[in-house]
Amino acid sequence: MTPPRAAPSHATPPPAAPAQVGSQPPLPPQQDPGAGRLIAGRYRLLAKLGHGGMGTVWRAKDETVDREVAVKEPRVPDHLPDLERSKAFERMRREARAAARLDHPAVVNVHDVAVVDGRPWIVMELVQGRSLGAALQEGTLGVRDAAKIGLEVLGALEAAHAAGILHRDVKPDNVLLGRHDRVVLTDFGIAQIEGETNLTDTGGFVGSPEYIAPERVLGQRPGPASDLWSLGVVLYAATEGVSPFRRTNTPATLQSVLNSAPAAPASAQGPLAEVINGLLNKDSARRPTADRVRALLEEAVRPPAPEPTQVVQLTGPAPGSGSGGKGVRIGPKALFGLGAAVVAAAVAAYLVIADPFAGPLPDGWKTRAHTKLGVTLGVPAAYQVTKPDADDRDKNWVTYSDYSGSIRIGLNVARKSEDSLNQIKNSAPAQMYADDEKFKDDGNYDLSMPEGATTTTDDEVTYQGKQAAENTIEYTTTDTQNPLPRELKIFYYRTTDGDMYKLTISYPGKGDFTERGREVARTAIANLEISTP
């Protein structure tokens, strides 16, 4: 695609809403109410990361030691009686005490508890990653990836149990997938610490129904085996896409936990399937011990032994590969993320930043290296490449298309060394917003794109831990005989030496190809490899 023409750059990024066209200056970025407050004389609140029933988590700056942290603000309705408010504050103190007692890399670090007007603010490390729950919105995990995550969560639970702490709310939203393959178990807000008074009201329970062990539903005294049950449900959901006990309402879900025998996992095999089936035994005494679970998960993580070379005729996907007919399978790169996702659940509210890394592509995809562009693209194997004409001096782009021409993938790089007109902006978001403003003037994203198309900008995504941006454009083609709805997704990334990369995926905006096009866009972006980041 043709590089965009010059446009005035932004001194500060514009708001996420569409920018105003004309002579009016751009509106300043909107801040979260409460941003800028100084807590306990040292923690400056910067932006909300998420909120839930027990608190709001902020990204903040510790001005004393000059580092960013996550700060959990107590969130208690004003109408609650004093006793209930006191219980809520005590739960937060227990969360801090529980996490602070644990020394394990898979448990989030608690730095401080700042008491402001009698309310405890928990100061924690800022975990860069995204939640397993967010990752599973895009697809399921392979056996080895699920087992690796299971091992880390198991380690956190073993450390907690050794310290006399039950987590009681192990679920995908409380598992963070951080940078450098780090896995962190979060939210000890409803943890039960041995020897401390139970804060749960009589006859009630806390936690997520579809992940709660049967003995807890029955009001029996839980133990470490109850947390391991929840780990088994998490592993089932990771490979199958959903908890086996999820129903349309809470009572039905709890009845399912008590009485339903879940179908054997179809995608998990071997030792991982043995772990899942064993942990979901409704009799807690018959569930495997943590040592046995660890041994099985370690076996599942080990790569299979190489088989003797032989010629075979494949009639379907290789066992354990692809999606197994169950939808999209997340590779390691997509698993640990594309984009900046905020874990807005009640407990796993930490900054979530994607950090792609190399991993296997889905079935039917291949990597295509373009050394002159400095990139390796993941594209469907059947897509055809379109190269510039031999007499075309612009060699900084490449496109792929399916045979129908309905879905197209394009990669364009604008070189800083060739940018005599200073068209390249100083960041990916700035480039996206500049392009967005130009589009509102002349529709320059695509020659067949009319005025009036809508754009959705996202300036919080990252690539390899660095700033990136993404824009989704919805429009109808200008073909007067057959106008068609289309979508165009553009991923922006600026290298440290100033080159601007744009990965563009175009596909139908309605019909059978739409979801396929969006899947192609997600996978292509997740598997983009730039050799000079």
Q: What is the mean pLDDT of residues 472-489?
A: 82
CA-based angle 153:156:162, to the nearest 5?
A: 140
pLDDT higher than 80, residue 524: yes
Give the domain range for residue 229: 129-301
Ramachandran category for residue 509: left, alpha or beta (phi over 0 → left; psi -120 to 50 → alpha): alpha
Q: Does residue 433 share a domain with residue 287? A: no
Q: What is the mean pLDDT of residues 349-357?
A: 30
Q: How far apart are CA 382 and CA 483, in angstroms?
A: 27
Within a domain: residue 413?
Answer: yes
Within a domain: residue 240?
Answer: yes
* Residue 442 binned pLDDT confidence (cut-offs 50, 70, 90): low
Domain boundary among 104, 125, 146: 125
Question: Of 212, 231, 221, which is closest to residue 275 (Cα–Cα)?
Answer: 231
Q: How far apart are CA 221 and CA 223, in angstroms?
A: 7
Q: Does residue 238 share a domain with residue 221? A: yes
Question: Of 100, 88, 87, which is closest to residue 163 (Cα–Cα)?
Answer: 100
Give me 337's structure tokens. 């993320």
Within a domain: residue 344?
Answer: no
Ramachandran category for residue 322: left, alpha or beta (phi over 0 → left; psi -120 to 50 → alpha): left
72 is known to lie in a ligand binding site: yes
* Residue 326 binned pLDDT confidence (cut-offs 50, 70, 90): very low
Q: How far apart are CA 129 and CA 284, in angstroms?
A: 33
Q: For the chain, what is the mean pLDDT?
A: 76
pLDDT in tens, 98-121: 666 777 888 888 888 888 877 888
Hey, what amino acid is at 327?
Answer: G
Q: Are 59 and 342 in contact (CB under 8 A)?
A: no
pLDDT at 124: 85
pLDDT at 373: 86
3-state secondary structure of 440: helix
Supply the CATH number for residue 477's domain.
3.40.1000.10
Percentage of the chain modeled with pLDDT above 90: 29
Contacts for 224 with CB less than 8 Å, ≥ 6 apart: 157, 161, 166, 290
**Beta partners for 81?**
none
Within a domain: residue 263?
Answer: yes
Q: Does residue 204 share a domain with residue 76? A: no
Contacts for 14 with CB less than 8 Å, ≥ 6 apart: 26, 27, 29, 433
Domain boundary among 66, 91, 125: 125
pLDDT at 186: 83
The number of residues in the chain equals 533
pLDDT at 384: 84
pLDDT higher than 80, residue 237: yes
489-514 burial code (b ≥16 CB/10 A, e <16) = bbbbbbbeeebbbbbbbbbbbeeebb
CA-based angle 169:170:172, to the nearest 5?
A: 120
Q: Does residue 110 share a domain with residue 136? A: no
Ramachandran category for residue 493: left, alpha or beta (phi over 0 → left; psi -120 to 50 → alpha): beta
pLDDT higher than 60, residue 188: yes
Supply the CATH number for residue 70's domain.
3.30.200.20
DSSP 483-524: --EEEEEEEEEE-TTS-EEEEEEEEESSSHHHHHHHHHHHHH
pLDDT in tens, 397-431: 889 988 778 899 999 999 988 888 888 998 898 89
| The pairing of beta strand 110-116 with beta strand 67-74 | unpaired
pLDDT higher than 50, residue 52: yes
Within a domain: residue 44?
Answer: yes
Q: How far apart are CA 379 and CA 519, in angstroms?
A: 11
Q: Does residue 257 share a domain with residue 403? A: no
pLDDT at 20: 35
From 63-67, 228-232, 435-439, the region with the lowest mean pLDDT: 435-439
* Residue 296 binned pLDDT confidence (cut-offs 50, 70, 90): very high
**Number of domains comprising the chain:** 3
Phi, psi of 426 (to 5 degrees): -85, 0
Hey, what amino acid is at 18?
Answer: P
**Beta partners for 527?**
none
Q: How far apart are CA 188 and CA 107, in angstroms?
A: 10
Within a domain: residue 231?
Answer: yes
Supply the CATH number for residue 185's domain.
1.10.510.10
Q: Does residue 214 share a domain with residue 197? A: yes
Q: Are 44 and 37 in contact (CB under 8 A)?
A: yes
Q: Choose the catalytic residue: 62, 145, 169, 499.
A: 169
Within a domain: residue 331?
Answer: no
* Residue 344 binned pLDDT confidence (cut-offs 50, 70, 90): very low
3-state secondary structure of 358: coil
Q: How far apart are CA 217 and CA 256, in angstroms?
A: 11
* Residue 441 binned pLDDT confidence (cut-offs 50, 70, 90): low
Higher-pLDDT residue of 64, 354 = 64
Q: Does residue 507 share a domain with residue 386? A: yes
Q: Does residue 373 share a domain with residue 482? A: yes
pLDDT higher than 80, residue 4: no
Q: Does residue 176 share a domain with residue 226? A: yes
Q: Does residue 194 share a domain with residue 166? A: yes
pLDDT at 19: 34
Q: How does DSSP classify residue 231?
A: H
Phi, psi of 55 (to 5 degrees): 175, 170
Q: Does residue 136 share a domain with residue 106? A: no
Domain boundary among 301, 319, 347: 301
pLDDT at 435: 84
From 78-82, 127-131, 316-320, the region with the lowest mean pLDDT: 316-320
Q: Is 103 exposed, middle or buried (0-12, 13-18, 19+ CB in 10 A)?
A: exposed
- The yes-or-no answer on residue 112 being catalytic is no
Q: Does residue 376 share a domain with residue 483? A: yes
Question: Of 427, 461, 340, which is closest to residue 49 (Cα–Cα)?
Answer: 340
* Residue 494 binned pLDDT confidence (cut-offs 50, 70, 90): very high
Ramachandran category for residue 259: left, alpha or beta (phi over 0 → left; psi -120 to 50 → alpha): alpha
Within a domain: residue 360?
Answer: no
Contacts for 78 with CB less than 8 Å, ≥ 6 apart: none
* Residue 334 binned pLDDT confidence (cut-offs 50, 70, 90): low
0.85 surpassed by pTM: no
Contacts for 480 with CB less than 8 Å, ≥ 6 apart: none
* Residue 476 binned pLDDT confidence (cut-offs 50, 70, 90): confident
